[in-house]
C-alpha cells in the first residue's frame, strides 16, 4: 500500500519514454502500451480511492526525509478523487483518439499523453508548493506538444499563444513562491498551514502579496476572468481529443486554489482572512458571464464548446469562493460533472466536424448519421447547460443551495440562472443549425463532380467513448446520493487543517 501512492506518477513516467523511444515506429504496440498503462492507472486510482475513503491522510515521503525538509506526496480523499477522475477521463479520451486515428496524425502522441498524465497526477498528489510548480511544468510541456499535435497554420499560431501565456504564468508562479518563501521560510503546504496563521495581521503584507500572486497563477490555469482569454483560442484549435483531455487541466487550477487556499490561506487566518473570497467571487461571476456571451456569440462549434467550458469554470469557482464546507462539496460535484460534460462535448464535436468537414455553425447537407449525432449532441448539451435529468442540473442545484449567504446569493443565483439560460439558447441555436435545419437540404451527393471522397460513417468504436462519457454523467445523476456523501466527507476533511498538518508533520506516521 505505502508505495502505491507514487505509482500514478511513476507509471506514466516510465511508460512515456518507453513508448517514445522503443515503440516509436510501431503504432500498434504504442497504442497497446498506452491503453494498458491507462487501464492500470484507473485500477491504481480505484485502490487509492478505497484506501483514502476511510478518511486517513496517507503520506509518502520521498527519500524518507521528514516532512518540512523533504518532499511529501499526500493522499487524502480529494487527491484520490482527482487522480481517479484524471485516469477515467484519460481512458475515454485515449480510446477516442485511437478509434478516430488522431494519434497517428503526428509524432509521439502516446508518449506526450503519458507525460501529461504524470504531470496531472503529480500535481494532485504533491504536498509541497514548489513540487506543485514542477509538476505544473511537466504537464504544461506535455500539453504544448499535444496542443500542436498534427500541426496546421491556425493550430501552430494558437499553440504559440498558449505557450507564451503559460510561460508568463510560470514566471509569475516562481515570483509567488519566492515571496512565500521569503515571508514564511517554508514551501511545504502543511508547514505553511502552521506558520501563516502565526503571522500577525499587520505584518502579513508579503504573505498577502504571495496569496494573490498564487491566486492569479491558478486562475490562469482555471481560466478565470480576467486571464481566461487564452482558453477559447487554445481549445478551439487543439485537436479535439486533446481539448477533451484539457478538460482536466482547468480543474488542476481549481484544485490548486482549493488545496492551497483552504490549507494555507484558509478562513480564519488573520493575515489573509477574506482576501480570497473578496477577489475570487466577483471574478467567478464575470467568468460565468464571459462564458455565456461566448456561447451565444460563437460562430464555430469548437469555440462554442470552449466558451461553455469557461462558463462552467465560473460556476465551479463561485462555489469555491463561498469557502464553506457545503460550497466546496458542491464545487467538487460540479467539478467531476463538468470535466466529463466538457470532454464529452469535444468528442462529439470531433465526430460531427470530421463528418461535415467544417466546424462552422451553418446549415450544410445532413451527414449520414445526422440523427445519432443530434441525439448525442442534445444529451451532452443538456448535461453542460445544467438541465435535468443529467448531473449538470444536480450540480448547479447543489452550488446554488450552498450559496445562501445574503451578500452572495443575489449575484450568484442571477449569474448562474441567467448564464444557464443563455447557454441553453446558444446550444439550442447551434444544434438546430447543425442538425435540424440541415435536414431541409438535400443529402450530399457523393458522386458530385470534383467533390471530395465521401467520409465513411463513424464506427461504433468512435462513438463509444462519447457514449461512455454520457453514461458517466447519467451515473453521477443516478448515484448522486453516495457520490455527494463522499464529497461531503472530502470537504469536511479539507477544512480539517489540523488533521492534515498532523498527518504530514506529526511523528510516527506511515511513510
Site of interaction with other proteins (CB under 8 A): 130, 134, 137, 141, 144, 148, 151-154, 156-161, 163-164, 167-168, 170-171, 174-175, 177-179, 181-182, 232-233, 236-237, 297-300, 303-304, 358, 360
Of 289 and 468, the one with the shorter C-beta distance to other proteins is 289
Count CB atoms within 10 A of the CB of residue 111. Answer: 24
Cell of 483: 457520490
**CB of residue 485 vs other proteins: minimum separation in angstroms?**
41
**CB of residue 82 vs other proteins: minimum separation in angstroms?**
23
Q: Could you please report the per-residue DSSP string of 376-399?
A: HHHHHHHHHHT-TTSHHHHHHHHH
Phi, psi of 80 (to 5 degrees): -60, -45
Q: 384 and 341 in contact (C-beta within 8 Å)?
A: yes
Of 145 and 386, the one with the shorter C-beta distance to other proteins is 145
Q: How far apart are CA 21 and CA 18, in angstroms?
A: 5
Of 246 and 333, the one with the shorter C-beta distance to other proteins is 246
**CB of residue 177 vs other proteins: minimum separation in angstroms?**
7
Q: How far apart are CA 118 and CA 14, in angstroms?
A: 9
**CB of residue 151 vs other proteins: minimum separation in angstroms?**
7
Q: How far apart are CA 120 and CA 247, in angstroms?
A: 12
Each residue of 302-321: b (16+ CB within 10 Å) or e? Answer: bbbbbbbbbbbbbbbbbbbb
Contacts of 421 (CB under 8 A, 6+ apart): none
Of 2 and 171, the one with the shorter C-beta distance to other proteins is 171
Residue 101: left (phi > 0), alpha (psi -120 to 50), or beta? left
Of 174 and 409, the one with the shorter C-beta distance to other proteins is 174
Of 170 and 439, the one with the shorter C-beta distance to other proteins is 170
Q: 485 and 81 in contact (C-beta within 8 Å)?
A: no
**CB of residue 57 vs other proteins: minimum separation in angstroms?**
25
Of 134 and 289, the one with the shorter C-beta distance to other proteins is 134
**CB of residue 144 vs other proteins: minimum separation in angstroms?**
6
User: Which residues on adjacent β-strands are paired with residue 128?
Assistant: 188
**CB of residue 102 vs other proteins: minimum separation in angstroms?**
19
Cell of 7: 505509482
The helix/strand/coil state of 72 is strand
Amino acid at each position: 500500500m505505502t508505495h502505491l501512492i507514487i505509482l500514478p506518477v511513476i507509471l506514466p513516467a516510465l511508460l512515456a519514454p518507453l513508448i517514445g523511444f522503443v515503440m516509436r515506429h510501431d503504432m500498434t504496440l504504442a497504442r497497446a502500451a498506452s491503453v494498458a498503462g491507462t487501464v492500470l492507472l484507473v485500477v491504481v486510482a480505484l485502490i487509492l480511492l478505497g484506501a483514502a475513503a476511510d478518511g486517513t491522510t496517507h503520506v509518502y515521503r520521498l527519500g524518507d526525509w521528514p516532512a518540512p525538509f523533504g518532499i511529501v506526496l499526500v493522499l487524502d480523499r480529494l487527491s484520490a478523487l482527482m487522480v481517479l477522475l484524471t485516469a477515467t477521463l484519460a481512458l475515454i479520451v485515449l480510446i477516442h483518439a485511437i478509434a478516430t486515428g488522431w494519434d497517428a496524425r503526428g509524432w509521439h502522441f502516446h508518449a506526450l499523453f503519458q507525460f501529461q498524465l504524470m504531470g496531472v497526477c503529480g500535481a494532485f498528489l504533491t504536498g509541497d508548493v514548489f513540487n506543485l510548480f514542477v509538476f505544473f511544468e511537466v504537464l504544461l510541456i506535455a500539453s504544448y506538444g499535444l496542443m500542436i499535435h498534427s500541426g496546421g497554420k491556425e493550430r501552430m499560431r494558437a499553440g504559440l499563444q498558449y505557450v507564451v501565456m503559460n510561460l508568463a504564468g510560470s514566471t509569475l508562479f516562481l515570483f509567488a513562491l519566492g515571496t512565500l518563501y521569503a515571508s514564511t521560510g517554508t514551501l511545504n503546504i502543511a508547514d505553511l498551514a502552521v506558520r501563516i496563521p502565526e503571522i500577525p495581521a499587520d505584518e502579513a503584507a508579503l504573505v498577502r502579496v504571495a496569496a494573490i500572486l498564487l491566486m492569479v497563477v491558478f486562475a490562469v490555469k482555471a481560466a478565470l476572468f480576467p486571464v481566461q482569454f487564452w482558453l477559447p483560442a487554445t481549445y478551439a484549435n487543439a485537436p479535439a481529443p486533446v481539448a477533451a483531455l484539457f478538460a482536466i487541466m482547468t480543474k488542476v487550477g481549481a484544485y490548486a486554489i482549493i488545496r492551497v487556499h483552504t490549507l494555507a490561506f484558509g478562513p480564519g487566518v488573520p493575515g489573509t482572512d477574506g482576501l480570497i473570497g473578496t477577489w475570487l467571487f466577483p471574478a467567478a461571476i464575470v467568468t460565468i458571464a464571459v462564458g455565456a456571451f461566448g456561447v451565444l456569440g460563437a460562430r464555430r462549434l469548437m469555440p462554442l464548446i470552449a466558451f461553455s467550458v469557461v462558463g462552467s469554470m465560473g460556476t465551479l469557482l463561485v462555489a469555491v469562493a463561498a469557502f464553506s464546507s457545503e460550497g466546496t462539496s458542491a464545487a467538487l460535484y460540479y467539478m467531476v460533472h463538468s470535466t466529463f460534460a466538457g470532454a464529452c462535448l469535444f468528442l462529439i464535436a470531433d465526430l460531427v466536424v470530421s463528418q461535415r468537414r467544417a466546424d462552422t455553425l451553418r446549415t450544410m447537407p445532413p451527414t449520414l448519421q445526422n440523427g445519432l449525432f443530434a441525439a448525442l449532441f442534445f444529451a451532452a448539451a443538456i448535461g453542460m447547460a445544467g438541465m435535468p435529468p443529467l448531473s449538470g442540473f444536480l450540480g448547479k442545484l447543489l452550488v446554488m443551495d450552498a450559496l445562501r449567504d445574503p451578500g452572495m446569493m443575489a449575484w450568484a443565483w442571477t449569474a448562474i440562472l441567467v448564464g444557464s439560460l443563455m447557454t441553453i439558447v446558444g446550444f439550442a441555436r447551434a444544434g438546430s443549425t447543425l442538425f435540424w435545419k440541415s435536414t431541409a437540404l438535400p443529402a450530399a451527393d457523393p458522386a458530385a463532380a470534383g467533390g471530395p471522397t465521401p467520409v465513411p460513417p463513424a464506427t461504433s468504436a468512435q462513438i463509444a467513448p462519447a457514449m461512455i462519457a454520457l453514461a458517466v454523467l447519467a451515473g453521477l445523476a443516478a448515484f448522486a446520493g453516495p457520490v455527494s456523501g463522499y464529497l461531503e466527507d472530502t470537504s469536511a476533511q479539507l477544512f480539517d487543517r489540523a488533521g492534515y498538518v498532523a498527518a504530514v508533520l506529526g511523528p510516527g506516521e506511515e511513510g
